Structure 1
């Protein structure tokens, strides 16, 4: 099948959902002051969730899905913390904070040259999906399980669209990795349910790789 035919087929299948992605070589990666880790153990995290829930109710988190191109394949930008577990850039909303404002704040904290404050130069796209934690100690589900009246945490994933060039400045105790979607897909054991489910959330898009 010729390239032109493949392109036409992709456009027909996608129904117009085309996502521009740019080469990884167009981005600069640096480091800044480390961010303190709030949890040393799983028990610490569970206790923090309980404390936050008692004070504020449902915990809402927002995370960014950010794509770049490498070797003609879409790669997802993922943070690796303490050389062990992986997470998408983002974090917990403050009480009364909107999804978009909270995600921009968290992206600035984790990925921007700005040490403190808000880098407003983030283009936040559509919400791709929502994940729910029904109890403090259970994993996330891509739906609200039956008979769950008081979920403890909700995580929303938003598409973040990048320009052709940008500086990513990451805390020294984290690594920002570009991981191919084909490696992430279904790899729950390594990346957890949310990250491993991202390729399915992106399946409605055709990727338009823009050469530098």
Structure 2
């Protein structure tokens, strides 16, 4: 599979690229700072910004999917709402229909499945940031592309969990107790599972620890 990655130098994007290449996929690493991408066989590095429609469309031509793993400063409460329309236009010009967006658990109605303490954190410390995420999630869902939205729980730089990540349709999740934290490596592996599975098209997916969720049933 040929995948264009937006956010190639980020904590999740860089690890996703390494895992995807290891598994035999081709990667187009589209980055504002291309010199920061660890280049290796299987990776094509392209410099550019997510706001540059023409450059992004040129880079995306021939790709099977686009992974959107970018986020703005916490104080910027409109970054994704401003940027996602440009990405959608570029994808249309490039003829790429499959888009996978990395959102965050706690955005929009996902917060209803969170613990009481988590909801308090989301509402106070992260309110504006999560509202921006929720608005861009809705924009993607109404765009007409073959979308998937992934909602990771809190992520951290830590040794991978031996049991990996749990990848579950949000509709099957009853609640997410506490504040589960998932290592970046496990998140990258889970995202690769999602983007390579056409059955996830049109789904919202929770990405958490094996014990970090309770079934809706």
Query: Which has the larger share of strand?
Result: 1
Superposition TM-score tier, normalisation by shorter sequence: under 0.3
TM-score calculated relative to the size of structure 1: 0.25
Query: Which has the larger share of helix?
Result: 2
Larger RCO, structures 1/2 (Cα 8 Å, 6+ apart):
1
TM-score calculated relative to the size of structure 2: 0.25
